[in-house]
Structure 1
Amino acid sequence: MHSDRRSSLGEARPLLEEAPPSYGATDGLDDAASESSPDEQQAMSKFSRADIIWILAGLWSGVLLGAFDGTVVATLLTPIGSQFKASNQASYIATSYLLSVCCFTPLYGRLADILGRKGAMLVALSLFGSGTIFCGLAPSMGTLIAARAVAGMGGGGVMTVASVTVSDFIPLKQRGLYQGMANILYGLGAGLGGPVGGWVNDMFGWRAAFFMQTPLLVFSFVVVATKVNISLPDAVRQQSLADKLRRIDVLGSVTLAMTVGCLLLGFSLKSSEELPWSHPLIYCLLVASVILGIAFVLVEKYWAPYPVMPLRLMTQRTPLAVSISNLLTSMSAFSTLYNVPLYFSAVRLDSAAKSGLHLLPHSIAISTGSVLAGWIMRKTGKLYGLTLASSFLTIIASVLITLWNEDSSVFHLWLDLIPQGFGMASFITSTLIAMIAGVYKEDMAVATGITYLFRTTGQVLGIIDAIRRTTEVIPQLEPTLRRAAVESYGDALRVVFICQVAINILGFIACLPIQENVLPGTHEEQEQHYRNRDNTDYRDDPDI
């Protein structure tokens, strides 16, 4: 069976039931939305304004919690390692979560089409929540690492399904603005996690930092369970649970997860354990990743009736360009975030607090850049020029960083990261909309999952590739040795920064093929847009 064919015309039906004209999103949620057209300002026939607010609150509270959890855990590594007398294993707490996120994120796109948005989100929240609670109860380091892996199984799904669900009832022309608001909440959660986690650890112990997430988790679960009522096609709704579960591409999911897991674990062990590429463990993991990747392609092409990652998506111009460019730019962005503080602590000999403070302008730029990108797409209905400009900003920032030296002014050291924040935030917003606009309606959920897969994989590779060494001893060295250590770090980091320039340039080139698709302003226009694509597709190439 050729799995890249659409299994039935029923699979091509719109995810949402056919709506009356002007089925647009309510725009009274924020001041910027008040500028919408009369059609956009009409309430949706299926969801009242209150319903939309509750749905967004349920989804975005999960997003905020996921970001909060990540930075909370980062502050707890030292006390956890000390209590279990296993400080050398503390880094695996973060690694296990990140690897799990990358492995399971792409699965939620198809899961959202099978179990529905509510069902997939509840699965994600259940895994994330149970893993987080088990972290607080963990009796040993090994148990805690396993619990973080369980949390990661749901953490990636929370982000993916939330994005998919919002796309169901927000027209594409406005979608970027809402993504920008979600990114602000994500940034808020990440910003609060560190200080709040540190305070809770000092006052009540590190276990309380996991348990304190329960109230927001319960809130998100209850709101999603009661308010997220988005209809799947009749053909899917009428199936029994057993029939729905049979639609899950188990073999494809397993081979995909193992392909990504072996690849990232090989790079992670190479970095954390400083093993050579020729080491049997590294070599076997990378070879296994290649073999499993080939097996995954064969499964998706010849076996799976409902592929977890349809190969036709990865052979289309826009999805392929979005995937590769997201992988590259995310890799560079996260390498920057980890290496810039290292530069200030190892080369400038600043305190840890001051080193981290240099990222503040960057964080502000991320929040404003994402919303600005959404506003531009809303006003112009265009995204191609915005995408290229955003990618170019990341190149400018990486070039500016490579020029840092002992004579660099304070002005440059504080502000050169701002283009990176603006560019990256705008880029991930515009490319997500480009992906959604460039695929068929029934592929939207899977395509969103693919976008998050490549983005999170790039993030993990960027973090793994970062130079992470202790710098606390440098200021205490005698002058000659201190100077040698500073120069060594400076030379090594300059090489890393130059590599980031090259990666950003490749990311810019990768996004050039992205197509400029119409961004509908209402759901009526959006459904017509998808119908036109479907009709054209079946007329021109009935074998797809």
Structure 2
Amino acid sequence: MNKPPTELSRQAPTKSELIQIMVGLGLAMLLSALDQSIVATAMPTIAADLGDFVHLPWIVTAYLVASTAVTPLYGKLADIHGARAMLLIGVAIFVAGSVFCALAPSMGLLALARAVQGMGGGGLIALAQTVIADLVTPRERGRMMTYFSIVFIAASVGGPALGGVFAEHLHWSLIFWINVPLGLVAFAMSWFHLRRLPQRRHPHRLDIAGAALLVVGSSVTQLALSWGGERLAWSSAPMLALLAAAAAAWALFAWRTRAAEEPLIPLDVLGDSVVRDATLSGAFGLGTFIALTMFLPIYFEGALGLTADQSGLALIPLTIATVTGATISGRLMSRIRHYKAAPLIGLGAATLAMAALWLALGALSLAALDALLAVVGLGVGAMLPVTTVAVQNAVPAHNLGTATAVTQFSRQLGGVFIVAIFGAIVIGGGPVAAPEALRAAFRTALGVAALLTLASFLFMARMEQRDLHGEG
């Protein structure tokens, strides 16, 4: 049985304390954001040093699978024990995993250490957003979350460069050692400055069976989508077995959610129309963005003849525009009542830009292509803070952690699905060498991306615009 939540109110932090809290949360988010970008450029060096290229993809797969699978668990546990306690645990596990990664003598142990690291990093972004929700009203949350944009700019732009410098001129283990001082500072700031965070307590049992089914379902799904068409043929017996296992785990999780007295994700959260529409809009929008950032370098280098460095620079407009869109939309939430206007305009323009890319890809200069990608980034970015705050605003306070984590989880899983779709289109049949063939494959992928962006727009349009708590 659900028991009434226990609220332990504490004096609101002062402005200077709030700044210190934001810095600590920013560092915690930087750990997760930086890790996803700094490793990529060092992978060839890591494989050469450890003498194992065959299992190299596992250092990415292990982290992504673990971090995605545990995200909902962090949210639920934050509702039980408080966001501060779970944030401290997440940072500690992440730092420990980073040390294990730096000391790993083989690819197998490195992959295992990356899984540990992912178990810590999986909750950092959702927990930081939950802490913000505990500190300020929904009307102010969008504005507060925009300060984290600096973190993602630094991670997206600086991460690959830093990873390359460490791997080429120093030692690849430094990409993991750097997490130790950052993590210790984030832990210390969270330990001291989050003590005044208003405490939420909702005493209940954790649905262990539901949690296990969710972890199995999401993990097996990610493995199947990561391996399909590359390591395993989609029609092969092992792949069909993986897909069947994933379907069975999800079906059992759905049954458990309906049957359990206290399910891992409460039915009133899943049943809320705002939660459904916001999470689906976020999954389609951010998933498309993730797929673009992963596969566009293949087009830049294979069809346009850019170098790896030039390809990285060509992605910057998309990244910067996404952060800019999030900043504008988040700040508008505290100033205008019709907060859906910015993401609707942005996603509408993004859909048209994706359609233009699909129709005219072969005739576009690099500058024109980047300009259209920037429009896409602005639209996706404008959607992100609105969907997060709308979900938090729609649920009771004792479910804030769970709802925020479900939102982040759906975005991550959406990214896995859409990346798999792009992979099947672009490289599913093997490497595409001829520029014209590559251009044709990307036209198809961009047509799919236009439909997915349109889906994000439609779910945003359908989402009910409820008054934000604290709105006058």
Normalised TM-score (structure 2):
0.93
Residue 448 of structure 1 corresponds to which residue in structure 2?
404
Residue 131 of structure 1 corresponds to which residue in structure 2?
97
| CA distance in 1: counterparts of 2:363 and 2:405, whole angstroms | 45
Residue type at the aligned position of 2:206: I
Pairing 1:196–2:162 present: yes
Pairing 1:149–2:115 present: yes
Question: Which residue of 461, 467, 472 maps to 1:518?
Answer: 467
Matches within 5 A, 1:204-223: 204-223=170-189
Tell me the SS of whatever aligns to 1:461.
Answer: helix
Question: Contact 1:347/1:487 (CA < 8 Å) preserved in 2?
Answer: yes
| Number of residue pairs matched by the alignment | 467
Cα distance per residue 1:244-299 (max 9 Å; x no partner): 6x7222111111111111111111111431x2222122111111112111221222
Residue 298 of structure 1 corresponds to which residue in structure 2?
255
Q: CA deviation at 1:197?
A: 1.6
Residue type at the aligned position of 1:261: S
Return closer, same or farther for 1:259/1:166 CA change in 2, 3 Å cut-off: same
* RMSD, aligned α-carbons: 2.1
Question: Which residue of 77, 80, 85 maps to 1:111?
Answer: 77
Question: Which residue of 436, 448, 460 maps to 1:499?
Answer: 448
Q: CA deviation at 1:94?
A: 0.9
Residue 228 of structure 2 corresponds to which residue in structure 1?
270
Matches within 5 A, 1:406-445: 406-445=362-401
Return closer, same or farther for 1:78/1:469 CA change in 2, 3 Å cut-off: farther
Cα distance per residue 1:24-49 (max 9 Å; x no partner): xxxxxxxxxxxxxxxxxxxxx43122
Pairing 1:392–2:348 present: yes
Q: CA deviation at 1:469?
A: 6.0
Question: Contact 1:396/1:419 (CA < 8 Å) preserved in 2?
Answer: no
Residue 56 of structure 2 corresponds to which residue in structure 1?
90
| CA distance in 1: counterparts of 2:19 and 2:28, whole angstroms | 14
Residue type at the aligned position of 2:327: V
Cα distance per residue 1:411-446 (max 9 Å; x no partner): 412311111111111111111111111222222211
Return closer, same or farther for 1:88/1:400 CA change in 2, 3 Å cut-off: farther
Q: CA deviation at 1:510?
A: 2.3
Tell me the SS of whatever aligns to 1:276.
Answer: coil
| CA distance in 1: counterparts of 2:396 and 2:362, whole angstroms | 53
Matches within 5 A, 1:175-194: 175-194=141-160
Question: Contact 1:63/1:159 (CA < 8 Å) preserved in 2?
Answer: yes
Cα distance per residue 1:128-151 (max 9 Å; x no partner): 111111110101101111111111
| CA distance in 1: counterparts of 2:301 and 2:228, whole angstroms | 24
Question: Contact 1:395/1:501 (CA < 8 Å) preserved in 2?
Answer: yes
Residue 22 of structure 1 corresponds to which residue in structure 2?
none
Larger Rg: 1
Normalised TM-score (structure 1):
0.81
Matches within 5 A, 1:236-255: 247-255=205-213
Return closer, same or farther for 1:176/1:48 CA change in 2, 3 Å cut-off: same
| CA distance in 2: counterparts of 1:382 and 1:101, whole angstroms | 34
Residue 312 of structure 2 corresponds to which residue in structure 1?
356
Return closer, same or farther for 1:397/1:92 CA change in 2, 3 Å cut-off: farther
Residue 325 of structure 1 corresponds to which residue in structure 2?
281
Q: CA deviation at 1:304?
A: 4.4
Residue type at the aligned position of 1:267: L
Pairing 1:259–2:217 present: yes
| CA distance in 1: counterparts of 2:54 and 2:349, whole angstroms | 38
Identity of paired residues, percent? 25
